[in-house]
Amino acid sequence: MPGFRRTMGFTLFYLGVLVLLPIGGMLFRVFEMTWSDFWRLATTPRALAAYRLSFGASFLAAMINAVFGTLLAWVLVRYQFPGKKWVDALVDVPFALPTAVAGLTLANLFSPNGWLGHFLVPLGIKGAYTQLGVVLALVFVSLPFAVRTLQPVLEHMEREVEEAAATLGAGRLRTFATVIIPSLLPAILTGFALSFARALGEYGSVIFISSNMQYKTEIAPLLIVSLLEQFEYSAAMTIAVVLLVVSIVLLAAINLLERWASHFQR
């Protein structure tokens, strides 16, 4: 590889063209508006309803993946069982599967006549064309981030620490709570942040499993697309900037929390 200057120059140029230039163009368009116009477009009742669903569903999906993704990663790393390689490969299916296909599949599964919906709908659990369907789609597309972030940490975790805790009289539950979880906390938080960011920007799978009703099941990315189709570019850019700013703030907060957890662990 070339020296530091060349590689750093190429890195900054590459990131600038792919990331900073599009974001800068969007921000430049928004800066042309006055603050009152920006606030008016960003806080319309339809936009606020879309924010609540997008951020709420993304947060819930990330929490679910943080819990069950941790359990799944633990099983894949610590246990040997028939079909383990197949289970490990299934984790990456959301990466390879087009999001539209995922949305159609989930909608067919949880619809009133679907394989799962046929049993769940009579019980009052409606997975398709509801806010619950939005959460299901977001859990599906963001699960690999939680699992793949945690697996390398588990593989390199020294089991001698757990054995030492056991020799000192700590039970399995206490060892898990006082030894394992503090060691895994930074990776769990990273997986949570990545899952949240992935879910927040999801579009393809959600529009097929939700009814896309305004004020009820309309997510923020769908609202942006709808505004673009209506040639309301300023309103679409405004909502996009709101999502961008909130995402950056949340990721920065998670990063600070990870540093605190790593410092506390040391």
Give the CATH number, domain containing residue 148.
1.10.3720.10
- Rounded to whole angstroms, the Cα distance separating 232 from 41 reads 10
Alpha-carbon dihedral 185, 191, 194, 200, rounded to 10 degrees: -100
The total of other beta-carbon atoms located within 10 Å of residue 235's CB is 23
* Count of structural domains, the chain: 1
Domain-located, residue 217: yes
| pLDDT tens profile 155-174 | 887 777 777 777 777 777 77
24 domain residue, yes or no? no
Average pLDDT over residues 238-266: 76
User: 100 lies in a domain?
Assistant: yes
**Is 150 contained in some domain?**
yes
Average pLDDT over residues 245-258: 78
Q: Is the pLDDT of residue 144 over 80?
A: yes
**pLDDT the model gives residue 31:** 85
Is the residue at 73 inside a domain? yes
pLDDT at 164: 78
pLDDT band at 265 (very low <50, low <70, confident <90, very high): low
C-beta neighbour count of 194 within 10 angstroms: 20
* Separation between Cα atoms, residue 30 and residue 41, nearest integer Å: 11
Query: Is residue 218 situated within a structural domain?
Result: yes
Q: Which domain holds residue 47?
A: 42-265
Please give the biggest Cα pair distance in the chain.
68
Of the chain, the percentage scoring pLDDT greater than 90 comes to: 38
Confidence band of 2 (pLDDT split at 50, 70, 90): low
**pLDDT score recorded for residue 1:** 60
Cα–Cα dist 62/148, whole Å: 14
| 97 within domain boundaries | yes
- CA atoms within a 13 Å half-sphere pointing along the CA-CB vector of 215: 3
Q: Residue 44: what pLDDT? A: 94
Q: Please name which of 188, 193, 151 lies closest in space to residue 262, comparing C-alpha atoms.
A: 188
* 32 part of a folded domain: no
pLDDT tens profile 41-91: 999 999 999 999 999 999 999 999 999 999 999 999 988 999 999 999 999
**What pLDDT score was predicted for residue 266?**
56
Which of the two residues, 178 and 148, has the higher pLDDT score? 148
pLDDT at 262: 62
What Rg, from alpha-carbon coordinates, does the chain have? 22
Report whether pLDDT(137) > 70.
yes
**Average pLDDT rounded to a whole number, residues 190-195:** 88
pLDDT at 225: 92
